[in-house]
Amino acid sequence: QLVILGTGWGGFALLKNIDKRKYDVVVVSPRNHFLFTPLLPSTTVGTLEFRSIIDPIRNHGFRDEKHFHLAEAEDIEFKRKIISCRSALQPSLTYELKYNKLAICVGAVPNTFGVPGVYEHAYFLKEIADARAIRHRILRNFELSTESVIKDEDRKRLLHTVIVGGGPTGVEFGAELYDFIIQDVAKIFPSLQNMVHVTLVESREILPSFDDRLRAHAEKKIGKRERMKLLRGTVAEVNHDGIKLTDGTNIQCGLTVWSAGLAPRELTTRLDLPKTKQGQVIVDNYLHTIKQDVEGVYALGDCSYLQSTPLPCTAQVAEREGKYLAKVLSSSQSAPKPFFFKSLGMLAYVGEQDSLTDLPYVKWQGFKSWILWHLAYTTRLGSWRLRMQVPIDWFKTFIYGRDISRF
């Protein structure tokens, strides 16, 4: 019996590619779907619909309907090979699962860096529920701003969005929000369009993993925008109506989106396995834990750290690790080849039909890169259903504009 903890990029790739004739595959996860995270920012403003980027886990070949558990793994006893689980539907319900082989693919959580007020007042963008909450808040702020009793000063605050973190998620969310402002707000809320503003806060460079020329292009693109700006700074505090920087600057806003990095989950930090200072499980070249007396336990994705060659916490790395582990476990070879990762490149949307393409031998920007961005992500979607739904959503948005229903 192979137990997979998590339904992210690593766990989902392992589930899809493992030889199910050799293993009874059991999956434990608090969500019953795989989320195509690169397109998550597009759902926050209605460019795409939420269900267009999620793939139900139960559609991927379980021998028994009871082999999927909508639950959270709370602890693992490696000597007894037992996983302690708590139901995501009924928290009072706890139980244990046995395993022969175990793949820990639980991912990571947003890193707040201990900044006060982040959990209480900021919005994350990592799960579909996060995107729904952001969309709900954006539309709430616009609808509230149309009320005649609201003062202009309060309108400007409500219509100001602050994004903390200049990585791909933060930049792409800012791009989607800016497209919404220039393409839809002018038509739907014409009296508010001049009050809308977006601020991207980053202490270093934005998109640090991209080529210097492409990164400079993105910064120049943002700098030219009338209603969006890039602010260099470090956040000291988040409160109910804005943020405070370490230099004492107060920035008022109606929405703060926190996208400033990742931290290990509580389960990962609790495990009795060798870990890095950051709390990631250290694995060897075969993705197996390096602890000598623990057998059949693997870790992959954001919760793991490859001892020989540290890799970035990206969807591409996690997916390749999942496919590799599926091949190793399905193979009859006693001496498999070690895991080797070579990046296929990176893509990022920066708004106004402009994307960045950073491939080993191709560095593109602009419209042709935007076309490639669409084609690449369409082919990467996990099922044919999604490959149909996403282009349809893009087409509807292009013809009719974004859906601003609040529900």
Residue 7 DSSP SS3: coil
CB atoms closer than 10 angstroms to residue 31: 16
pLDDT digits (tens, 9 = 90+) for 67-109: 999 999 999 999 999 999 999 999 999 999 999 999 999 999 9
CATH number assigned to the domain comprising residue 303? 3.50.50.100
Residue 220 has pLDDT above 80, yes or no: yes
Residue (of 196, 199, 138) closest to 166 by Cα position = 199
Which residues make Cβ contacts (< 8 Å) with residue 384, sequence separation at least 6?
none
CB atoms closer than 10 angstroms to residue 202: 23
Q: Tell whether 249 and 152 lie within a shared domain.
A: yes
Assigned domain for 142 exists:
yes
Average the pLDDT over 7-22 and give the result: 96
Average the pLDDT over 311-320 and give the result: 96
Q: Tell whether 125 and 234 lie within a shared domain.
A: yes
First-to-final CA distance of the chain: 42
Query: In the numeric block, which tokens belong to residue 210?
Result: 């991209």
Report the predicted TM-score, pTM, of the whole model to 2 decimal places. 0.95
Residue 61 has pLDDT above 90, yes or no: no
Q: Tell whether 360 and 308 lie within a shared domain.
A: no
Q: Tell whether 237 and 383 lie within a shared domain.
A: yes
**Alpha carbon distances (Å) from 306 to 103, 164, 340:** 15, 28, 10
Assigned domain for 335 exists:
no
Residue 329 has pLDDT above 80, yes or no: yes
Residue 95 DSSP SS3: strand
**307 near 283, Cβ under 8 Å?**
yes
Assigned domain for 182 exists:
yes
When divided into structural domains, the chain yields a total of 2
Question: Quick one: pLDDT at residue 407?
Answer: 80
Mean pLDDT estimate for the chain: 96
Report residue 264: phi and psi, to 5°: -70, 150
Assigned domain for 339 exists:
no
Q: Tell whether 204 and 127 lie within a shared domain.
A: yes
Domain span holding position 155:
118-260+345-400
pLDDT digits (tens, 9 = 90+) for 171-197: 999 999 999 999 999 899 999 999 999
Q: Tell whether 161 and 241 lie within a shared domain.
A: yes
Query: In the numeric block, which tokens belong to residue 232?
Result: 């260099």
